[in-house]
A and B are shown apart, each in its own frame.
Chain A
């Protein structure tokens, strides 16, 4: 009796060659992976991964982790200091996010193709938004510190400027997906362009915008906790100080506080988001 399995495979291979991975089909993927791997190894060598210092560092890292346990704020007054730092952090994130959203809305109208017909205006607005976005929030924070001085206000302004870029892009994309029929309806009753945007487009996209604002608020609370590292207010100042002076138990306590606060805010704001746009939101 001949080996039927062998026969079947051979027959299938001739009938459906596209389902059998031949050497020709796998080769490009393999080359790309090999190239990426080579780049990885070269990069690691370049950055000093394969040196004695690194291996010693792993030992030291272990010591650092041991020194962080258990988390301990030290004294009651320090705990109060951290608590207010955390409140300040959340306040910075809230105000910065809202200000950015308010400022970004008119810009997103200029960037959206279905609202502003002039291609040149679209293009210029988009490029400016991209430029704002590609400068990191910490750089904005340093610039604003130079303007209004050290403190949380600089942090608020940093979020306000840096998020204009992201919000402008996201809002304009949301605007562009809006249905055009309500706009035509309003135009046909004699309403002007501005009215058609206000009553034709904005009601459609408002829930999406609100959920994006909430989402950014969540992520900004995380980011706000590092603004203090450069002196722009919030708990990051205490955290950076604790790490730099090797008060590692206090540092881990602060990290723990941030984790709890972020978890609580995530919980509340995801509830709000679901209430705004329903549970089935995952489109992309």
Chain B
């Protein structure tokens, strides 16, 4: 039954999405050809034969890549700070008010369902072309995802310390600070680091709509068929993302060790 439904869905989707295997087979040569062209300079030589020519714009690209990283960092931190406060309001077990919790959850859901690129498009109208729009888009999207993840972490805590602090007559924010926060801080940092990794990737394409970072140059290079530039920028992005992944991975493992030692 389920399988039949799935097959019908696939068939209908294929029509809706204008899937055409014949076109695919006819044009697949373009795909491999595309990668072939990516690896050749304008002069026709292989890119590896002349790295200086291949990476001719490295100074500018490095600066833009740096801007992308700063965008991802500022966006993640701002989003994480917002999510930090919202999480305690949203978590069902510690929320001061059930309706407030509902409202915060819906808000986070909105922030994470609307794609970052759409926010970026709107912020470009308000703030003009440039990284400002991108940072805010990253921050809002991170707020949505981290708000959900953080509040789930808070919902899984041991309630005894919170009750203990509350029973001494401490107000809500003190109970959260000394009862809940010590239990969740390392998970929060770990999730924020994961989000940072994702945001680096996302920031790299926000430039497609004019919201700053290396994406602007990449978009231009793809659209204008500057093949060797495309491959050079892609290589730089892939290497940067890999480095960031390794770095944050190391920090997260340290963090987990730290928690287990206590």
Contacts and interface: CB of A to CB of B under 8 A. Distances in A.
Interface of A: 36, 39-40, 43-44, 46-49, 53-54, 57-58, 60-61, 63-64, 84, 87-88, 90-92, 94-95, 98, 130-131, 134-136, 138-139, 142-144, 146-149, 151-153, 155-157, 222-223, 225-226, 229-230, 233, 239-240, 243-244, 246, 251, 255, 258-259, 262-263
Contacts of A230: 208
Interface string B89-119: 0000000000000000000001001110110
Given A54-B127, A64-B122, A48 B18 contact: no
30 contacts: A36-B77, A40-B74, A40-B78, A43-B74, A47-B71, A47-B131, A48-B132, A53-B127, A57-B128, A60-B126, A88-B16, A90-B13, A134-B242, A135-B234, A136-B202, A138-B117, A139-B205, A142-B219, A142-B222, A143-B34, A144-B31, A146-B34, A148-B24, A151-B18, A153-B20, A222-B113, A223-B115, A240-B209, A255-B114, A258-B114
Interface string B229-261: 000001001100110010000000000000000
Listed residue (A222, A229, A263) with the most chain B CB atoms within 10 angstroms of its CB: A229
B97 to A, nearest CB: 24
Contacts of A240: 121, 209
Interface string B131-170: 1100100000000000000000000000000000000000
Interface residues of B, number: 58
Contact of B17 (A134, A144, A152): A152
A156 B24 CA distance: 11
A39 B114 contact: no
Contact of A46 (B27, B30, B70, B204): B70
Contacts of B208: 138, 229-230
A226 B131 contact: no
Given A48-B132, A64-B122, A147-B31, 11 more contacts: A44-B74, A88-B17, A91-B16, A95-B13, A136-B201, A139-B205, A142-B219, A153-B18, A229-B208, A258-B113, A259-B114
Given A40-B73, A88-B16, A95-B10, A259 B113 contact: yes
A39 B131 contact: no
A130 B237 contact: no
B1 interface: no
Interface of B: 9-10, 12-14, 16-20, 23-24, 27-28, 30-31, 34, 67, 70-71, 73-74, 77-78, 110, 113-115, 117-118, 121-123, 125-128, 130-132, 135, 201-202, 204-205, 208-209, 212, 218-219, 222-223, 234, 237-238, 241-242, 245
B23 A134 contact: no
Contacts of A44: 74
A157 B132 CA distance: 32
Nearest to A58: B126
A239 B67 CA distance: 27
Nearest to A225: B115
A47 B132 contact: yes
Contacts of B123: 57, 61
Nearest to B202: A136
Given A47-B131, A48-B132, A244 B121 contact: yes
Contact of A134 (B73, B122, B241): B241
Contacts of B74: 40, 43-44, 47
A47 B202 CA distance: 17
Given A147-B28, A243-B121, A135 B128 contact: no
Contacts of B110: 259
A131 to B, nearest CB: 6
Contact of B242 (A39, A130, A146): A130
Nearest to B233: A139
A47 B16 CA distance: 42
A243 B135 contact: no
Contacts of B126: 57-58, 60-61, 63-64
A91 B12 contact: yes
A140 B251 CA distance: 30
Contacts of A251: 122
A30 to B, nearest CB: 14
A51 B30 CA distance: 47
A57 B127 contact: yes
A26 to B, nearest CB: 13
Contacts of A139: 205, 218, 222, 234
Nearest to A61: B126
B137 to A, nearest CB: 11
A125 B258 CA distance: 32
A39 B73 contact: yes
Nearest to B133: A57
B132 A57 contact: yes
Contacts of A258: 113-114
B131 to A, nearest CB: 5
